[in-house]
Each structure stands twice: as C-alpha cells, then as structure tokens.
Chains A and B, each alone.
Chain A
Amino acid sequence: MYEQTLSFAWLSEAFDQLLDGAWLTILLSLQAIVLGCLIAIIGAWAKSSGPRWLGIVFGVYVEVIRNTPFLLQLFFFFFGLPTLGIYLSPTNTALLAMVVNLGAYATEIIRAGVESVPHGQTEAGAALGFGPFQVFLLIVLVPALQVIYPPLAGQFTMILLGSSLAAAISANELTSVANSIASANFRTIEVYVVVTFIYLVIVFAFRILFAVCYNLFLARGPRERMGVL
C-alpha cells in the first residue's frame, strides 16, 4: 500500500516556465483573433455578395474546417506543409491552424449577421456612390457587429481553449509547458490543476476585454451593456 499525497512545492520553481507558456497562449490567441477576423470579413463578403466562384471556395473551406477536428487540422498543417516545401516553426504552424480554424467559424457568424441587415440599407449605400466592398464594410458590417459580437466573442474563447492542442506539434504554449513539467516531476494531477486554473484566469481576462470593447464601442445605451458571465 503506498500513499499518494498532493504537493505544490514544485510550483515556485516552475513558475517562470508557466508564465512563458501562458504568455505564448495569450499571444497566439490575440494574433489568431485579428488575422482570423480578417479572413472572416473577406469570407462573409464573398459568401453574401462577392463573386459566385469565390463564394463557393469559401463555402467549401467553411464546411471542411467546421466538420473536422482541430487536432487533425494541426497534424495536417504540421506534417503536410513540408511535402509542399513549406517549412514553418511549430509556433507559426499552430498560429496558421488557429487562424484558418477561427476564420471558418467567424465567416459563418459574420455572414449570418450581415444577412440580417435589411436590403434597403445596401441600396441606400449604393445610391451614395460607394463601391460594393465599401458598402459591405461601412453600411452592412458595422451595424451587424452589434448582433454578431456575442457569438464572435464566444468563438474567440473557443480558439483560445483550442490552442491547448498545439502541444501535440511541439509549440511551447501553456499545455506543452504543463506536459513538460509533469513529465519531469510526475506531479501530474497538481500540474494540471494549476494549469486549468491559469486557463480560467486567462479566459476571464479575455472576456473582460471583450466586454469592455463592446461597452466602449458598440453598446448603444446602458441597458445593452455586455457582462462577463
């Protein structure tokens, strides 16, 4: 009979490592959010009012990404791109996979929001002499943002949580650091308890950021303020 007792004595030693990992997780997520949204805006435009062929291309992209696991997408980019002669570091591969993944989900969210904007507004925009992409950006997208912001913020959280899988392709984000620490000190449960808590803190920090952005730029009045929970 042997006894297993929890111990957190390793924490002070591993703290810097965990901080580095957490920072990379945050950085990857922020970059993925910005770049993913860019793809999504183009995708939403292509699917709702762009040229037909481009709409089909984005349609296939969205369906393929949304119906396959992120873990496989990571494997694909990491082991597949070299056969095309493209070599990216694990961190950049993880970022690429996150951007592509988020881009697909956000395309669908933004498209749904855009299509909820009444037709009259688009026509009014065209009458003011704006080009088609300008109409889309200024007349359609900005009003739609109010509707699509909450689901979009939810999707941002999902990609942050998804970044934990990048450990499988040796990117040194938080989960990867956790695995390394656990494989050196075998305090497996303790390490994962601490890291889960760190994720919780990061996610809530992101949610506060999202809510602040919404309340500053998008909320039309105090009754529409976005909360964190």
Chain B
Amino acid sequence: MKRLLGMVISVCLGAVGLAATAEAQDLSDIIKRGEIVVGVDMTTPPWGYLNAQQQPDGFGVALGQQLADSLKVKLKVEQVTGPTRIPTLLAGRADVIISTLSITAERAAQVWFTNPYAPNALVLIAPQAKKVAGFADTAGMKIAVPRGSPQDQIVTANATKATILRFDDDAGSLQALVTGQADLLGAGMLVPPALNQMDPGKSYEAKFTLSSPYMAMAVAPGRTNLLNYLNTFLFLQKQSGKLEEISQQYLKVTLGQLPTL
C-alpha cells in the first residue's frame, strides 16, 4: 500500500516537471502537406452535421472547403466535440477550428481568434406556453447549457435561483429541453427554428437575449502566418460575397456587416 502510494505520487510529481513543445505547424507546413485539417463539431446543425448521405456538411464544413480551395490544398475534417475542440487545437491535432466557437476573453488567453465569420446571439429558449421575460422568472426552473460555454457563464452569474444542468455539448442540452428534463435552454439564435422543425407543436421561441457574441475561427497560439492568412481569407470571402452565399444556403439569414477584431 505504502509502496503503491509512493509510486503514484512520484509519477505525478514527475509529470509536473515536464515541459514539452507542441509541433509547430505553420502555413508553409500546411501547403507542403497539401492538406489543411479543420476541426468541426458534427452535432451542431446547421453549423456542422452529417447530411443524409452521412457526409460532413454544414456552414463550418463549407467555410473550411472555401479555405482549402483558397490555399489550393485538400480539406480534411477533424470531427471534434464541444469539450474537445480547444484541446484538439492545442494538442496540434487540427490546424484551425471552425466549430461555433464564440469569442470570449477566457478563450482568447488560450487560442488565437481570427476576425468573426458570423454573429451568434445567445438566447434562452422555451416552448411558447412557458412565460419567461427575464432572469427573475427563472427561479425554480431548470436551465440546460453546454458546459463552460458563454451561456453557461451568463446563466450561472444571473439565474441564481434556477438549477443549471451542464451537458458535454449543445446536443445534450438540446435533448434535455425536448424531453422536458429542462425548462429552458441556453443556445444560439438559430436553434428555435431548427427545434420547431424537429419537434413540431410546441412552438419553441427565444425568450430573451443573453449576449451577442461573434463566432470566429481559432488557431493555436504562435501560428502568426496562418492567422494572418485566415484574416485575409475572411476579408476576401466577405468582399466577394462568398461568405454571404453559404450563410444563405445553411443559416437562411443575412450576415450583413461583421465587425473585426
């Protein structure tokens, strides 16, 4: 027993002293490789999902394809989950993530953001029959959110009399609302129309806006060349109207003017 404990502690301490460097992969490496690895979450329609042919599809995949075309390399979609997307990037397993990542100060300390590619107002969603106008009405209710998301932080800070259910990803929290395990759902503004299509009859609607962040692509810190390229790429896509094109196709909304960092 003592022996074992000693061993475990020494292994833990050994790990503390370790410092390692992630593989540096900047723009030239991607071009040399002939392939760019883009992390997208396949459980976040319409941003990322598997289509009826079970192929990766959605706004994020389409934007990734435009990026690959612009670089004249092949696109490789790395499927990530909500909690694994930033670690995937930091571990060097994707060059860039386009996975509904809202720009927040906490995340900016971990990854480097590009200019935004879409707005993503976060709202509290419930069936029409539920009367909720502000945080005061959420007392005693159960609110489902993806763990660690901006909506998690806002709801945790403001809905102090509600029970907050934190799920691994958007899909889990959405499921909780539909099955009635949660009364309210904190999610993006595009979710209610999608929900009404999947679960008709309840008339889901946005009750009020939590915040209006923007989604951006992100790269691992230090990848200056890649970041510069991505911002230029976004500028060109906006100018040529190609970004607006995929927005109409997948999101069914007009993006309009997007701010820059």
| 13 other A-B residue contacts (CB within 8 Å) besides A8-B16, A168-B167, A193-B12 | A1-B222, A2-B24, A2-B220, A2-B222, A3-B21, A6-B15, A6-B19, A82-B179, A170-B165, A170-B172, A179-B147, A197-B8, A204-B1
Tell me which of A97-105, A108-116, A152-160, A181-189 binds B: A181-189
The secondary structure that dominates the A interface is helix
Contacts of B165 in A (CB 8 A): 90, 170
Tell me which of B41-49, B82-90, B93-101 binds A: B82-90
A6 touches B18 (CB 8 A): yes
What's the minimum C-beta distance from A128 to chain B, rounded to whole angstroms?
A: 44
Contacts of A228 in B (CB 8 A): 1
A25 contacts the other chain (CB 8 A): no
3 smallest A-B Cβ distances: which pairs?
A183-B148, A2-B222, A1-B24
A78 contacts the other chain (CB 8 A): yes
Q: A2-B222, A4-B90, A83-B179 are in contact. Are A176 and B18 (CB under 8 A)?
A: no
Q: A1-B222, A4-B90, A197-B8 are in contact. Are A168 and B19 (CB under 8 A)?
A: no
Please report B residues at the A interface, Cβ cutoff 8 Å: 1, 4, 8, 12, 15-22, 24, 83, 86-87, 90, 106, 110, 144, 147-148, 163, 165-168, 172, 175-176, 179-181, 220-222
Complex Cα distance A2/B26, Å?
Answer: 11
Complex Cα distance A204/B3, Å?
Answer: 13
B8 touches A79 (CB 8 A): no
Closest to B148 in A: A183
A186 touches B1 (CB 8 A): no
Contacts of A5 in B (CB 8 A): 19
The 8 Å CB contact of B106, one of A6, A184, A188, A197, is A184
The 8 Å CB contact of A180, one of B4, B144, B147, B222, is B147
A28 contacts the other chain (CB 8 A): no
The 8 Å CB contact of B167, one of A8, A170, A204, A229, is A170
Contacts of A40 in B (CB 8 A): none
Complex Cα distance A229/B2, Å?
Answer: 11
A14 contacts the other chain (CB 8 A): no
A4 touches B19 (CB 8 A): yes
- Enumerate A178-229 residues with CB–CB distance to B below 8 Å: 179-180, 182-184, 186, 188, 193, 197, 200, 204, 228-229
A200 touches B8 (CB 8 A): yes
Query: Of residues A4, A167, A193, A197, which shows the largest number of chain B Cβ atoms within 10 Å of its Cβ?
Result: A4
B221 touches A170 (CB 8 A): no
Contacts of A168 in B (CB 8 A): 167-168, 172
Contacts of A8 in B (CB 8 A): 16
Complex Cα distance A183/B152, Å?
Answer: 11
Q: A193-B15, A200-B8 are in contact. Are A186 and B87 (CB under 8 A)?
A: yes
A87 contacts the other chain (CB 8 A): yes
18 of the cross-chain contacts (CB-CB < 8 Å) are A1-B24, A2-B22, A2-B222, A5-B19, A78-B179, A79-B179, A83-B179, A87-B180, A167-B168, A168-B167, A169-B167, A170-B167, A170-B176, A179-B147, A182-B83, A183-B147, A184-B106, A184-B148
